[in-house]
Structure 1
Amino acid sequence: MPKVQTNKEELIKKSMQVFIKTGYFHTTLACLAKACNIEKPHFYYYFKDKKDLMNQVLIYASAQIEKLVFDIAYKEDIKPSARLHVILDNVLKIHTKNKYGCLMGNTLLETVGREPYFKPVLCAYFNKWRETLTHLYLAAYEEEQAKDMANEDIAKLQGGIMLMRLYEDKDILGKVTDNIKTRL
């Protein structure tokens, strides 16, 4: 295999594409090395093992969503309903472009009960979702109701992503996001 200049972020990005397609348990370091066009031992320069790499992928993915979704909720110069619309439009763009589903949701379903190492990163991610939606809903609802609605809407989004993937029908997620937009 030719020597390729690479860096940690590039390995994370390329590995993320493999993990989202094949999942954590079905992905081997050999498969990741091939996708990254490097020798397998090169991963150990940046990561302790596959578990560490996956954790870094989840942290990276969460940071990307933070920029495109979570941060928007706190732009107080924009009306809460407009912020919610932008957030949901971004979710729709992200997940209709990606035919493999949600990396965070897929990893949660695959690893829960089998690999507790990822639980802190996954909890932090879904807690950010809950905080983001709750923050927006507080503009129109009491705190307890806003929290309940946020939890419901996270479940709707994840279910919509899964059903969109199952039926290969982007309208499913579009209807979910349109429904959530009516909250504000």
Structure 2
Amino acid sequence: MPLQKITPEEILYKSIKVFRRRGYYRTKMSDLAKEVGLTKGTFYHHFESKEDVMRKALMASIQWFETSLFSIAFEPQLSSKEKLEKMSEKAFKAFTDNEGGCIFANTILETAHVEDTFIKEILRFFELWKQALMEVFKEKYSNDQLTDVVQQIIGDIEGSIIIMQLHKDNLYLKRALNRSIEML
């Protein structure tokens, strides 16, 4: 049976699922190779190291969130409420479709006290999220309040993702997203 070709994008998508489920340190290159149906040696043909895979997985995730979710905040034809409702729907789906919650929060919690290898990518994700929410809430809050409100919303959502994972109940995230809409 001939080997199926797999694109680098497909490899990253499947790798993200493994990293979300297992974490960075518990994931081995052999786990990633197995997930995509490649031998470990063939997998190394595509990526130099596990760190390389993780960095590119985070960058691909950032790209997805930026184009599919955060960009909604800048759609001029939508009201602030419509933007936030649409963003909330996409966020709920993104954080609940696969096991593991938020790859960025998981990675920073797992690695921050050991190494700062992925700090740049994780900071980028949260900065883009902050900018998107600031765009949505800018008419409701003063500049002095805006940063605090947005940081509170992101903290509430990320905390709810952790509790959602603990209790295996998506309602925690749904409630946090609804609380953000109520703040408009």
Shorter-chain TM band: over 0.9
- The 5 Å alignment of 1:108-147 reads 108-147=108-147
What's the counterpart of residue 149 of structure 2? 149
2:104 and 2:123 map into 1 onto residues whose CA distance is 10
- 2-side partners of 1:138 and 1:81: how far apart? 12
- Using structure 1 for the length normalisation, give the TM-score: 0.94
d(CA) in 1 for partners of 2:81, 2:182:
9
User: What residue in structure 2 maps to residue 55 of structure 1?
Assistant: 55
Instruction: Tell me by how many angstroms 1:2 deviates.
Output: 6.5
Deviation per residue, 1:2-40 (Å, 9 max, x gap): 733122111111111111110000000111111111111
Moved over 3 A (4+): 1-4
Tell me the secondary structure at the aligned position of residue 26 of structure 2.
Answer: coil
State the TM-score, normalized to the length of structure 2: 0.94
Could you tell me which residue of structure 1 aligns to residue 161 of structure 2? 161
Q: Could you tell me how far apart the structure 2 residues matched to 1:91 and 1:112 are?
A: 24
Give yes or no for contact 1:101–1:161 (8 Å, CA) kept in 2: yes
For 1:8 and 1:159, how far apart are their aligned partners in 2? 32
Give 1:147's aligned amino acid.
Answer: T
Cα deviation, residue 115, structure 1 = 2.7
How many residues align? The count is 184
Shift in Å, 1:45: 2.3
Match of 1:180 in 2: 180
Alpha-carbon distance in structure 1 between the residues aligned to 2:156 and 2:97: 19
State the distance in 1 between where 2:49 and 2:7 align. Answer: 16
Instruction: Give the residue type in structure 2 aligned to 1:59.
Output: M
**What is the CA–CA distance in structure 2 between the aligned matches of 1:7 and 1:94, rounded to whole Å?**
22
Q: CA deviation at 1:87?
A: 0.6
Q: Which consecutive residues of structure 1, in runs of 5 or more, have no partner in the other structure?
A: none
Query: Quick check: 1:89 aligned with 2:89?
Result: yes
CA distance in 2, matches of 1:167, 1:139: 36
CA contact (8 A) 1:4 1:38 kept: no
Return 144-153 or 108-117, whichever deviates more. Answer: 108-117
Q: Residue by residue, what CA displacement relative to the aligned partner does 1:156-183 show, whole Å, maximum 9, x if unpaired? A: 0000111111111111111111111012
Distance in 2, matches of 1:115 and 1:12, equals 22
Q: Which residue of 1 aligns with 2:6?
A: 6
CA distance in 2, matches of 1:113, 1:2: 45
Whole-angstrom CA distance in 1 between matches of 2:2 and 2:163: 41
Sequence identity of aligned pairs in percent? 29
The equivalent residue for 1:67 is: 67
**SS of residue matched to 2:109:** helix
